[in-house]
Amino acid sequence: MTQPTQTFEFNQYHLGIWYSTYRLIIATSLLLIFLLTYQRLNTDYHYPQLYLYALIGYVSISCIQLITLKSIRLKITQQLPLLFVVDVIALSLLTLAVDGPNLQLSLLFVITIFAASLLLNAKKALIITLIAVISVIYQLFIGSIFDFSSLNNIGNSAVLAFLFLVVYGSGQIAVKRFQILENLNFSQSLELNRLQNLNRYILEQIELGYLVLDENCHIVLSNPAACLLLGIPPLYAYDKYPLYKAQPDLFELLKFDQLQDGEKFQFESQLSHYHMHIEVQKLMVPQQTLTLLVLQDATKLNQRVQQLKLAALGQLSASIAHEIRNPLAAIVQANELLSDSDPHQQATLSRMISKQTQRIDRIIQDTLNMVRNKETHPSTIELKQFIPLLIQEDLADIATQIKYTVHSNIFVHFDEAQLRQVLINLIRNAIRHNSPEHSHIELNVNLHEANVRIDVRDFGAGVASKDLANLFQPFFSTEITGTGLGLYLSHSFCEANQAKLNYVKQEQGACFRIECLRVAL
């Protein structure tokens, strides 16, 4: 049996219990009303004895059917149709006893038909509806033949029979909509359950510890890694629990109301032998604010940092050796040829040796600049004054080839020496790659929302698509004489000042963009 079928039968059983209880209450209420009001309203009952006996039978059978429905749960599909058959027969007898349908009995008939449409399949519900129609219409004809009722209420009976069919159709439409919603809800619950299991599996496998706290500093969620690091028993892995009971040391350390998003701190506990690095992240969810603590083993974190440093050092050493090997080989070869050459060749070889020596010196100087890791000292810079001064002092030899546009009142927070070095690298690089047909490169400073964009653009061939991935890597250069450190250093300086250096693709030429936050004064 499939899950939707089980769910449908489960709902059908409970709805059947509710309906059986309802009909027992209605039948009992009608019987009590009759007994209490018969002396005063005896003229309203055409056949009072039939009315009384029908109600007594209706109450008795309803009570028996309710008990049977609760006791024999497996045969729900066979019991429910009998409920509605009894209802139709009982209401038909009551209608006959009052000589035609009245408002109260008609309403009870309509409720019965609608309930049958909801609880039974379409075929059985239609049979119940037709039985009700026949009992309401034909009881008047049979009564007129045997002279115990009249045809005065035939119009009301016909309208009521038509209403039965309308209610049946409405019920079937409602059932189909309910089934669609139920199937949709079931499929969504399956998908939600699948995602929850997947999330739980990911949290269980991940090495990072995750601890989610609510506004009351209670643990909403934690994964096994967090439990291990904090010394919390696995019992709390998916249970909501007060932090001060689970991990009192962490609770005492946290100034919960003062935690800032992105805050980092170190933590040690008597409950755990781990030294932890904890990062705070604020989670904004509907109607509440949660705090996520990301926990890492500080020892393993330091080991990974050292491994990355060693790997970077090895890559740097290999790159330096590769870059120096080529000019060094040229120097050695020129030196071997120097003694046996004529004066003209000796002069050429000497210039070659000097040039290659300068190249080695430039490689070493750029490498030193890269590894010195100078401290950054940001200050507020007004670009309207800074750019012209930079061109005048550091780029005087190519000043005529620079066309710049700077709007007034634009301030940035940047280390002045590093910004100067970045712009010198980008501008000289743009001059080198500019097209001969263009006499200048462009330096434009613009505002974009809350950011300042400094664009350095040339009109050359641009950067090939295959080179974009390595553009800011150390020692990557498309020029034979280049060291490949200029863009790398510029990119590093920008990151140190919370700025970004990106390559912006153009229809013609290349554009390097520095994007940083604007300072409002």
Mean pLDDT for all residues in the chain: 80
pLDDT of residue 60: 92
DSSP for residue 462: -
pLDDT of residue 44: 65
452 has a pLDDT exceeding 50: yes
Domain with CATH 3.30.450.20 in the chain: 205-300
Give the H/E segment covering residue 448. strand 441-448
Tokens found for residue 490? 């510029």
Choose between 383 and 258: higher pLDDT. Answer: 383
Amino acid at 75: K
Distance from the Cα of residue 232 to its chain's centroid:
29
482 has a pLDDT exceeding 80: no
Choose between 176 and 427: higher pLDDT. Answer: 427
Report CA torsion sign: 5, 11, 14, 19.
Answer: negative
pLDDT of residue 152: 53
pLDDT of residue 177: 81
pLDDT of residue 245: 83
CB 441 within 8 A of CB 403: yes
Distances (CA, A) of 167 to 11, 82, 132: 22, 20, 12
Question: Span 144-150, mean pLDDT?
Answer: 49
Residues 6+ apart with CB under 8 A from 301: 277
How far is residue 275's CA from residue 102's CA, in Å, rounded to a whole number? 82
- Binned at pLDDT 50, 70 and 90, residue 146 comes out as very low
pLDDT tens-place string over residues 278-307: 888 888 877 788 888 888 888 887 787 777
Task: Enter the pTM of the model.
Answer: 0.42
Q: How does DSSP assign 87-106, residue by residue?
A: HHHHHHHHHHHTTS--HHHH
CB 82 within 8 A of CB 124: no
319 has a pLDDT exceeding 80: no
How far is residue 478's CA from residue 267's CA, in Å, rounded to a whole number? 48
224 has a pLDDT exceeding 70: yes
Domain with CATH 1.10.287.130 in the chain: 303-371
Domain with CATH 3.30.565.10 in the chain: 379-517
148 has a pLDDT exceeding 50: no
Choose between 478 and 196: higher pLDDT. Answer: 196
Question: Span 134-151, mean pLDDT?
Answer: 59
Tokens found for residue 111? 């409720």
pLDDT of residue 1: 44
Query: Which residues make beta-bridge pairs with 453?
Result: 446, 515
How far is residue 404's CA from residue 402's CA, in Å, rounded to a whole number? 6
Q: Which residue has the tokens 């020892």?
A: 299
Q: Poorest-confidence range of 18-22, 138-142, 179-183?
A: 138-142
CATH homologous superfamily, domain 379-517: Histidine kinase-like ATPase, C-terminal domain (3.30.565.10)
Classify domain 205-300 by CATH architecture. Answer: 2-Layer Sandwich (3.30)
- Binned at pLDDT 50, 70 and 90, residue 453 comes out as very high
Q: How does DSSP assign 356-390, residue by residue?
A: HHHHHHHHHHHHHHHHS-PPP--EEEEHHHHHHHH
Question: Span 30-42, mean pLDDT?
Answer: 78
In percent, the amount of the chain with pLDDT more than 70 equals 84
Q: Poorest-confidence range of 215-219, 456-460, 494-498?
A: 215-219
pLDDT of residue 210: 87
Q: Poorest-confidence range of 23-27, 104-108, 251-255, 292-296?
A: 251-255
What is the 3-state secondary structure of 407-443?
CCCCEEEECHHHHHHHHHHHHHHHHHHCCCCCCCEEE
Residues 6+ apart with CB under 8 A from 203: 210, 221, 223, 224
pLDDT tens-place string over residues 349-380: 888 888 888 877 777 776 666 566 557 788 99
pLDDT of residue 280: 87
Distances (CA, A) of 7 to 75, 118, 254, 485: 16, 15, 47, 67
pLDDT tens-place string over residues 69-128: 888 766 777 788 888 888 888 888 888 777 666 778 888 888 888 888 888 888 888 888
Cβ atoms within 10 Å, residue 458: 25
Length of the chain: 521
In percent, the amount of the chain with pLDDT more than 90 equals 9
Using DSSP, state whether 516 is helix, strand or coil. Answer: strand
Distances (CA, A) of 244 to 215, 228, 294, 297: 13, 17, 18, 22
pLDDT of residue 456: 92
Nearest to 464 by CA among 425, 502, 510, 426: 510
Question: Span 331-338, mean pLDDT?
Answer: 82
Q: Kindly report the CATH number that applies to the domain delimited by 303-371.
A: 1.10.287.130
